[in-house]
Structure 1
Amino acid sequence: MRLFALNGARMAILRVSILVLSLAGCVSESRQQEAPAQDVFLKGTGVSVFAAGDIADCRKATPAASGAAKTAALMAPLLEADPNALVLGLGDHTYPVGLPAEFRDCYEPTWGRFKSRTWPVPGNHEYYSPHAAGYYSYFGERAGPPQRGYYSLRAGNWLLIAMNSYLKPEDHAKQLAWLKAELEANPARCTLAFWHHPVYSSGGHGSDKRMQEAWRILHEAGAELVLSAHDHDYERFAPQDSAGRRDDARGMRQFVVGTGGATLTPVRFPKPNSEYRNNLSLGVLKLVLKDGGYEWEFLPVDADGERDRGAAPCH
């Protein structure tokens, strides 16, 4: 729809879709900008990856009626049809404080069915319990070395880097040193990193610079993608360099996917290079990681929800 908004004495035409959250008394925004055309032919079937964070919250609903149940129902047939597909958990897997009971009673009945195919990273809510004990106990070896929260894995010819964005400074410095060594020891044509707190976000929490140095290291190594969550919306950015400048040649594209099941929250003023924003529907991001590039599609749980899709080559 077209919305006419006053800006001083001028009228500006904004293309927006608006959702009025009557209970919260606030307005949320979804804006779409078409992904740039790509002159790339992506060969092969690739490896499918389904990703989202901010997932299981059963404080106001039973597990079966929760948002996490809706996104789990969306993924279930897709994962059943593709035994090689992976699930990436982008942090804040349970609410409110990551207790073992939350994982047992809310996460397990919903996303728990995908546990053997899930590679998680912790968010801040996991650490609201001392040492994120519920998270590390539930995921075990899938969460990487105990109490560290960062590790790497391969998906086809892609290198996937899982990182912990809630470490104390001393431990974060160790993580950055590990990241440099991991990238040097495991060169890959295509690289994806994922953690919880987005370096860039137009959502309520906004941009978070705690992983800025990790972004710089990854950018210098030629990485393609960063996935994050934390803000309860979906957002896609154009490729950016380590200073947040658009860099179509060697920049990293970031997705914010905080739509795994927790209550959606408002989008604020768009950050530079933000190409698409949607807080109208829960959903998951599907990536297909191919030999020379990747395809993406946001899959909403709502049948009439907006889908954001595109493709890009690796550097």
Structure 2
Amino acid sequence: MCSATRQRRWRHRTLAVATSALAAGAFLVAAQPQPGEAAPPAVPEVADQVPQLVESGVTGGPVSVSAQAASPRSVCAAGAQWLRVRFTELSLRGNDSVTLTGSRAGSFTLTAQHWPGKAFHTRAFEGDCVRVSAALSDPASRFAIDSYQSGARPLSEATTTVAAVGDVCGSSCNQTAPLIKNMNPQALILAGDNAYDSGSLSEYKSKFDPYYGQFRSITYPTPGNHEYKTSGASGYFDYFGTRAGERGKGYYSFDVGDWHFVALNSNITHSSGSAQVTWLKNDLAASTKPCTAAYFHHPRFSRGTHGDDTSVNPFFQTLYDAKADLIVVGHDHNYQRFAPSRPDGKRDDVNGVRQLLIGTGGRGYYNFDQSSAAVQEVGNTNTFGVSRLTLTASDYRSDFVPVSGRTFTDTTTGKCKKGVSSPAFSVGTSPSSVSVKPGGTASVSVSVGSTGGFSSATALSVSELPSGVTGTISPSSVTPPANGTATATLTLTASDSASGSATATVTGSSGSVSQTAKVAVSVGSGGGEAFADDFETDKGWQVNAAATDTATSGKWERGDPEQTTSTYSNQIKQRGDTPSGANCLVTGRLAGSEYGADDLDGGVSSMTSPAFTVPAGGKLTFSYTFAHGDNATSADYLRLRVLDGTTATTVFEKLGAATEVAGAWQSGTADLASFAGRSVRLVVEAADASTVSLWESAVDDVRVTA
């Protein structure tokens, strides 16, 4: 939708106290600053950035809960995929707490450190309700909720756009301003040196305002060193007013979507024990958001003219300790993306903070003439532009957008370290589809995986089966170990008159939380298939399931194979076609730089099927191809084995020999009658087990029939 036709869409609800719940009801404008809330005002949600966003509130005052009335309550919105709850008061004493839990996923506990005396929206919780449970013992503890935000699409699709740039006007900010207008962001963050040369009020009015003044209502600035060429950066504070934070300080924070942004002032005292860094530590501890970004002027790392600036290390260290995700800076007039790093510059892809230097707003370019302690992943010294930050509740994407006539771009993504609170547990099924014949049975493995330390009894059930098919799960309740997995077996039994197909639902329930998984169930004819896979979809085969494989390359995978031809014998070794569809099981599907580049090497590779029950008179049919060079031996092979418990029986085998063999699709069969009535798995193995030689294998259209 183009910006000219964007409209804000709101639904209005109020919250009223019920005996055991908070129910929805009238409209409250959440974009207005609340008493005690730090300047600048909170960033409003924009409906067409987060589709079908709902903002609601109460006109007669907030719902207030104290220690004397702290029974569990729920904030609900019918049909919502997620909710954020808005607190107008949170005054907790001692160890008192309030825990918020999404009906589908997510949990967060508020304590005395979280925004005392300030109105704020929590992080988003998945589901159509948020359960509010208070543990209050001090009579003075209380909290108040007056509204919520909700979305009708999954939380992963609830994106927020923030524009980011520094070192702006300059002589060329007329080129970068249109980029921001086209982005239509919810917020614009400025990394300092906004109006050259001295940041005076007259320069802001004559140079900055004609181009960037149009974004003033969404601008969240920080000052640069040029602002302080005017005493006390008075021109900066006069122009932006309360949007620049408290005069003389210039540091503040705000929330947008599920991100917490911190604006810092690197031009005033920022040593480890300074008032600013102390404020920063407290501010980060108070935030309830899963993702964090900070921005200021002087870069900790830069290969530009100014180089690394160790004076801002207290900022970086504090942000690193708080598991922040992004830092945006300016000062050097170029673009630089650094790898996630520690404060000393050492790369740290787990806990490191990524710094983006975006000094490209419109002031003349600086070259790269310095070394840096950190790893510069991408850099450019001749393109003005603005970074578009696309933010969700669990990750970010940064796109550098160049001005018209320039071609340099850059894109990077990352996950928030504190992320969205994931479900306490998950439910899975393997295989994802199964066939059962009338009068027969089939089995499906059900797994319950713990996340976030969950370790509680989880009841299992199955529903929505085809006509005449019943399902039992044994055991019917499992308790996964903390951060581990528990399993059960779903047994499907078809009556003689069973027919049809359906997508069954396996449900795991623990307390008020439920998770589900799907499994496609079809009823075959009396002599139909017990198991079939043409590999066009993933039905749950596992590579190296026994953890005993030794192959170093060319391992089994499901995919579309690429043809390879021997330069010595002019023979096709790996087929580029399949007997049906596009995919098969293949050892190293890619062709590589030469015909032997992605073949099987280094030993054995295996692929294990999901479990199935062998019917009476069971017969295995499949298609296969194998090929090798003239240095293969009988130690090289393609095998199909039946895994019955821990016992593996070879039912098909092709061995290598010291002759050239071209790839050709062939039909294979094996008698499985001796396994009738047993739940087994197929194991497809290939080995280049002698001297290094060329070996290619593929398998397709596996079927087990009566």
What's the TM-score once normalised by structure 2's chain length?
0.36
Are positions 1:194 and 2:295 aligned together?
A: yes
The equivalent position to 1:47 in structure 2, one of 138, 160, 173, is 160
Paired with 1:254 and 1:105, the residues of 2 have a C-alpha distance of 31
Following superposition, the deviation at residue 74 of structure 1 comes to: 1.9
**Equivalent residues in 2 for 1:90-105, closer than 5 Å:** 90-105=191-206
Q: Aligned pair in 2 of structure 1 residues 202, 153: CA closer, same or farther (>3 Å)?
A: same
Q: Which amino acid aligns with 2:376?
A: S
**Equivalent residues in 2 for 1:289-304, closer than 5 Å:** 289-304=391-406
Q: Check the 8 A contact 1:199/1:211 in 2, yes or no.
A: yes
> Where does residue 149 of structure 1 map in the other structure?
250
Paired with 1:266 and 1:109, the residues of 2 have a C-alpha distance of 29
Paired with 1:274 and 1:289, the residues of 2 have a C-alpha distance of 23
**Equivalent residues in 2 for 1:9-24, closer than 5 Å:** none
Where 1:108 maps in the other structure, the secondary structure is helix
Where 1:133 maps in the other structure, the secondary structure is helix
Are positions 1:265 and 2:378 aligned together?
A: no
Q: Check the 8 A contact 2:298/2:309 in 1, yes or no.
A: yes
Are positions 1:128 and 2:233 aligned together?
A: no
Q: Compare the two structures and name the one with the higher strand fraction.
A: 2
Where 1:110 maps in the other structure, the secondary structure is helix
Q: 1:111-165: per-residue Cα shift (whole Å, max 9, x none)?
A: 1111111000000000000000000000001101121110000011111010000
Q: Check the 8 A contact 1:42/1:294 in 2, yes or no.
A: no
Work out which of the two has the higher radius of gyration on C-alpha atoms and give 1 or 2. 2
Which structure is higher in RCO with an 8 Å CA cutoff and minimum separation 6?
A: 1
Paired with 1:133 and 1:172, the residues of 2 have a C-alpha distance of 26
Q: Check the 8 A contact 1:87/1:119 in 2, yes or no.
A: yes
Paired with 1:283 and 1:244, the residues of 2 have a C-alpha distance of 26
**Equivalent residues in 2 for 1:9-88, closer than 5 Å:** 43-57=156-170, 66-79=171-184, 85-88=186-189
Where 1:236 maps in the other structure, the secondary structure is strand
Q: Check the 8 A contact 2:272/2:314 in 1, yes or no.
A: no
Where 2:156 maps in the other structure, the secondary structure is coil
> Where does residue 280 of structure 1 map in the other structure?
382
Where 2:367 maps in the other structure, the secondary structure is coil
Are positions 1:117 and 2:230 aligned together?
A: no
Paired with 1:168 and 1:247, the residues of 2 have a C-alpha distance of 28
> Where does residue 350 of structure 2 map in the other structure?
249
Following superposition, the deviation at residue 264 of structure 1 comes to: 1.2
Q: Check the 8 A contact 2:271/2:314 in 1, yes or no.
A: no
Q: Check the 8 A contact 1:92/1:124 in 2, yes or no.
A: yes
Q: Which amino acid aligns with 1:299?
A: V
Following superposition, the deviation at residue 170 of structure 1 comes to: 7.6
Q: Check the 8 A contact 1:282/1:302 in 2, yes or no.
A: no
Where 1:184 maps in the other structure, the secondary structure is helix
Paired with 1:287 and 1:268, the residues of 2 have a C-alpha distance of 28
Q: Which amino acid aligns with 1:44?
A: E
Are positions 1:312 and 2:414 aligned together?
A: yes
Paired with 1:240 and 1:141, the residues of 2 have a C-alpha distance of 33
Q: Aligned pair in 2 of structure 1 residues 125, 304: CA closer, same or farther (>3 Å)?
A: closer
**Equivalent residues in 2 for 1:154-173, closer than 5 Å:** 154-168=255-269, 173=274
Q: Aligned pair in 2 of structure 1 residues 227, 170: CA closer, same or farther (>3 Å)?
A: closer
Where 2:274 maps in the other structure, the secondary structure is helix
Q: Compare the two structures and name the one with the higher helix fraction.
A: 1
Following superposition, the deviation at residue 172 of structure 1 comes to: 7.8
The alignment yields a C-alpha RMSD, in angstroms, of 1.8
Q: Check the 8 A contact 1:55/1:259 in 2, yes or no.
A: yes
The equivalent position to 1:233 in structure 2, one of 325, 328, 334, is 334
Q: 1:68-126: per-residue Cα shift (whole Å, max 9, x none)?
A: 000002221222xx5xx210011000111111110010100011111111000000000
**5+ long unaligned stretches in structure 1:** 1-40, 58-65
Identity of aligned residues (%): 37
Where 1:251 maps in the other structure, the secondary structure is coil
> Where does residue 61 of structure 1 map in the other structure?
none
**Superposition misfits of 4+ residues, deviation over 6 angstroms:** none
Paired with 1:312 and 1:42, the residues of 2 have a C-alpha distance of 17
Following superposition, the deviation at residue 304 of structure 1 comes to: 3.8
Paired with 1:205 and 1:186, the residues of 2 have a C-alpha distance of 33
Q: 1:40-87: per-residue Cα shift (whole Å, max 9, x none)?
A: x99214111111111112xxxxxxxx31000002221222xx5xx210
Q: Aligned pair in 2 of structure 1 residues 255, 137: CA closer, same or farther (>3 Å)?
A: same
Paired with 1:302 and 1:212, the residues of 2 have a C-alpha distance of 36
Q: Check the 8 A contact 1:42/1:293 in 2, yes or no.
A: no
Q: 1:175-226: per-residue Cα shift (whole Å, max 9, x none)?
A: 0000011111114311000000000001001111121011111101100000
Paired with 1:306 and 1:269, the residues of 2 have a C-alpha distance of 22
Are positions 1:213 and 2:314 aligned together?
A: yes
Q: Which amino acid aligns with 2:408?
A: E
Q: Aligned pair in 2 of structure 1 residues 294, 46: CA closer, same or farther (>3 Å)?
A: same
> Where does residue 34 of structure 1 map in the other structure?
none
Where 2:204 maps in the other structure, the secondary structure is helix
**5+ long unaligned stretches in structure 2:** 1-153, 418-706
Paired with 2:331 and 2:155, the residues of 1 have a C-alpha distance of 31
Following superposition, the deviation at residue 269 of structure 1 comes to: 4.0
Paired with 1:171 and 1:78, the residues of 2 have a C-alpha distance of 37
Following superposition, the deviation at residue 270 of structure 1 comes to: 4.8
Q: Check the 8 A contact 2:360/2:385 in 1, yes or no.
A: yes
Paired with 2:378 and 2:217, the residues of 1 have a C-alpha distance of 32
Paired with 1:95 and 1:231, the residues of 2 have a C-alpha distance of 14
